[in-house]
Structure formats: C-alpha cells, structure tokens
Amino acid sequence: MAKPRKKADDWWRGAVIYQVYPRSFQDTTGDGMGDLRGITKRLGHIASLGVDAIWLSPFFKSPMADMGYDVSDYCDVDPMFGTLADFDAMLAEAHRLGLKVIIDQVISHTSDQHPWFVESRSSRNNPKADWYVWADPKPDGTAPNNWLSIFGGPGWEWDGVRKQYYMHNFLISQPDLNFHNPDVQEALLKTVRFWLDRGVDGFRLDTVNFYFHDRKLRDNPPHEPDPEAVGLDAPDVNPYGMQTHRYDKTQPENVAFLKRFRALLDEYEGRATVGEVGDGARSLKTVADYTSGGDKLHMCYTFDLLGPDFTADHVRKCVQSFQRAVTDGWVCWAFSNHDVNRHVSRFIRAPEERERIAKLAITLLSTLRGSICLYQGEELGLTEADLAFEDLRDPYGIRFWPAFKGRDGCRTPMPWQHGEAHAGFSTGKPWLPVPQDHARLAVDVQEKIAGSVFNHYRATLAFRREHETLHDGDMSFLHSNHDILAFTREKGGEKLLFVFNLTHEKAEFVPAKSLKLGAPLSVPGFGAKLKDGTIELDGLDMACVRL
C-alpha cells in the first residue's frame, strides 16, 4: 500500500477522510441497525481504499430524534451501537490498519433528555438554570424574537414550568446550549478530554458556527441576496432561508472559544478538528476566521460543493472564492455527506452517466487543494434512494414532505454482498430499505470488476498519495473557456496541469505558448489526450500533463 507521507502532527493537511454513518454501515446483531462491531468488521474495506482517516457520525447515548445528533450523554455509547469497550476495540483496529479516527462532537445543542437540560428546565434558579438559552415571552406571549428553526417553525419552544421560552436551532428536542456561560464551556471541554484520553485523533465539530447567539436577542433581518455568494442556504421550501442569520449564529465570541478548544487539543499529539460551517453567503469569511493563525480549527467544510451544480464555472468560483477569502487556513472539500442528496444523482442527466460521473467527480475532488471527505457508499457510485413517505425516518423530511423529502435517501444501508439478504447489511429488517439497484452495486460485485467505480476510487486515491503536490501543493487556475476547468498543482520539483471537461460535449484546451508542456500523465480511468500541443477531451473527461 501507499507510503507514509506526513509529519505526525500534520497528517490532516491534504488527508482523505472517509465518513461512516454508523447506523447504516454494518449490523452485527440482526436488529436492522449498524453498530460499532460492524464498523470494526469492515475497517479492512475502508483501509483498502487508501484513505487516511475515518469520521464517525454520532454513536453516543441519544433518544435518536435526529439520528444521534441529539446527544443525552457525551461520554457513553448508545446501546444500539454497542459499548465503550466496542469503541476501544474499533479504535485499536483502526490504528492497527493505519487509520486515524475522528468523532463527531455535537456540542451546540443537546437532547432534551440530557440531564443538564432536565435540570435546567426544572426551575429558574437551579445550578444549571442558565446552561441553555432561556428568555421571557414578549408581553403578548409570543416568542422573544423572530429566530427560526432549520427544521421548520419558530426557533423557540415554550416551557410551562419555567414560564419561559428556550431556543432551538434544530428540533424542539434539541435545545441550544448557552455558550456565554463559562461553566457550559468547561463542561463541554471535559467531555472532549474524555475522548482525547481514549485516543481519538480528532473531532468533526457539528454546526461549529452555531455555538453562540446574540446576547441581546435581536431580530434577524430579512434575507439580503448576495450575487457573489457561493454558499448554500436552506432549501427554499424552508422559511429559514428567508432571513440573514446575523444574530442567531456566527457571533464573534466563538473565536475565543475555538482557541480554548485548540489549546486543549494541543496538549495531545497529532489531533485535528474539522468544523462544519453552515453560514450561507458568509461561509468563507467564517472559515477564514476559524482556521487562520494555527490557533483555532485545523480545517472547515462548507456546503459550497454540496449543491446541484457540477460545472467548471461553479467549481472554479468556489475554489477561487475560497483562495481569496482564506489565505491562511485550510478547507475540506466534499461532494456528499449524510445531509445532502448523493452527488451522482445530483450531477447526472441520465442514468447511464452514473459510472462516468462517479469516476470524474472523485478524480476532480482528489486533485483539489485541501483535505477531502468521502461519504460511505460513494465509492460504489450509489445513487440517491427513492423512498416512500412510509419509509422516511428523518424528521426534517417528514416535516417538509412532499416539497422536500429530507435526508433518508442518502442514509440507506451499505450494500456489501449482492446475494445476501439486505445486501449483507443485516440479517434483520433494516431501519431503511436497501434499494434493489444498490444491491447490484455491492462491494463483492465491484471488487471483481477491474473498471468498477470502487476500483477506480482505489486507483485514484493511490494516484493522489503518489503525488505529493496533490496533498498541499499550490493551485492556480489557467485562462480557459467557461466550460473547461484548467489548473496547475505545484510543489517542490513537481508541476502538473489538470484539465477537466465537465460538459457532455467534446472540447479542447489549447495551453498558452508560455506553458512548457511535458509528458502526459496517465490518470486512472482517463487516457492521455495531448495532440500537437492541444488537449482533446471527450464529454465528461479529464487529462493531466506534466509541466
């Protein structure tokens, strides 16, 4: 396998991170839900892809109203996923295979079943009375201000005991913690230390820009459109997108907290953070604020490449806007995760393009400057599952159906073995169905086919590892027509030209005379197409040439 390539502390820079959604990865108990032992069993599959790390979505104790993003105990494993001993075994096996493990810290809010909230809501003068965002009603009894929940409706819920409202950015059962209270920060950092001591290599920080709210609880203004923005807001079925979120999130106080977080991490060796920034048009500025200076987060991801657009113009705009805004920071690019439609389905125009798009997308992602996140199943070229309303489990989808069907379509179980019940995911009925066309794409099928999407992922990630310049080399765009994406990556003695044609028609790229073209480089799955100094490309094609 690939050669080790980084200083121990810097492993995250340019890393390939594979996201595991534990509930849908591998079940070992027959209850239809994935578990930690299942992850351990399948770590070999992940390692065989040649990735550096895994990111585990939450496996903590939780009533599962938001599939574990509603934590009721930060320091224990939910019984449906196993035990702390199972976690330790999984971690040890991952490390044995050379994989780092990043876990998901969901600290902006807790579950309403968390003992902290149970105590907080019990009276106005208990020791944790101020641990959440409580506020009196307006004189007419309505909510303190106009803040909205991302999952629909007001961002406030009335509590009859305290006779006050509490704030929630997501479900009513996900009350927001009050980060202005130093005791809350202390308690959360203690839970982070718990996992650091257990040996995790880092954290994905859920909704990292939502930690603080405006102390004065000012109303958000209506949405002010920004034509230059690349960031995505909530889907337009959701009135959340009708506000500029000036006061309910991304408050300046967060920077000081992130420094505290980093100082704690730096007591340990080689630990890293990746923050999730959902901040619409302001996302890049927020990433710059959070990742500059080497004293806050290591890297962040935004929703820029998680939308429907797979054009040269869009990718160039995202990367260039990032380069302008974030001069001293680091990004983690992704096309898919557990919150968005699978990218193959977002990008294809017809079903027969599935394989081609899957391959082109991972090749493009692997050549961008930044770390990258892959989402389980994308290495098989899985499409978005089309689920009936009766099958839905995501409260977000249930709330906005049929205008928006939520996130279950990308969360269906991994297909491992074509011939087995539920494609080898579980011997019991899975919590979400395994689509038939996913079973045909199972790992055991694709392993045997030389040109499968799965083998393309392995070869492409090996190509990335072999070329040091792709980890953290400079990236510059070249002048090209709008439909073509042409850029160089350069580090040390190596300089590579990449040209992508994301359209469906043939195209050519004529490099400037000043560029001294060297030998074409064969990139897995895409032949070399240099003819008389011109790069000729088919539709949905790419090429690489040494400079």
Residues marked active site are found at 206, 267
Q: Which residues pair with 544 in a beta bridge?
A: 498, 521
Binding site for ligand NOJ (CB under 6 A): 66, 69, 106, 170, 206-207, 338-339
Residue nearest to ligand NOJ (CB): 69
- Distance in angstroms (rounded) separating the CA atoms of residues 521 and 352: 27
Phi, psi of 272 (to 5 degrees): -140, 160
- Distance in angstroms (rounded) separating the CA atoms of residues 339 and 343: 11
Q: Tell which residue, 366, 306, 310, 361, has the closest CA to residue 337.
A: 306
Minimum CB separation of residue 55 from ligand NOJ in Å reads 11
Phi, psi of 455 (to 5 degrees): -70, -30
Between 409 and 473, name the residue whose CB sits nearer to ligand NOJ. Answer: 409
CB 39 within 8 Å of CB 414:
no
Cis ω before 221 (30° cut-off from 0) = no
Residues 6+ apart with CB under 8 A from 122: 161
- Distance in angstroms (rounded) separating the CA atoms of residues 427 and 193: 37
Between 14 and 397, name the residue whose CB sits nearer to ligand NOJ. Answer: 397
DSSP state of 523: B
Between 298 and 338, name the residue whose CB sits nearer to ligand NOJ. Answer: 338
Between 66 and 112, name the residue whose CB sits nearer to ligand NOJ. Answer: 66
Between 159 and 339, name the residue whose CB sits nearer to ligand NOJ. Answer: 339
* Per-residue burial over 319-341, b = 16 or more CB atoms within 10 Å of its CB, e = otherwise: bebbbebbeebbbbbbbbbbbbb
Minimum CB separation of residue 196 from ligand NOJ in Å reads 22
Between 396 and 425, name the residue whose CB sits nearer to ligand NOJ. Answer: 396
Phi, psi of 67 (to 5 degrees): 55, 40
DSSP state of 305: G
Minimum CB separation of residue 205 from ligand NOJ in Å reads 10
Minimum CB separation of residue 346 from ligand NOJ in Å reads 17
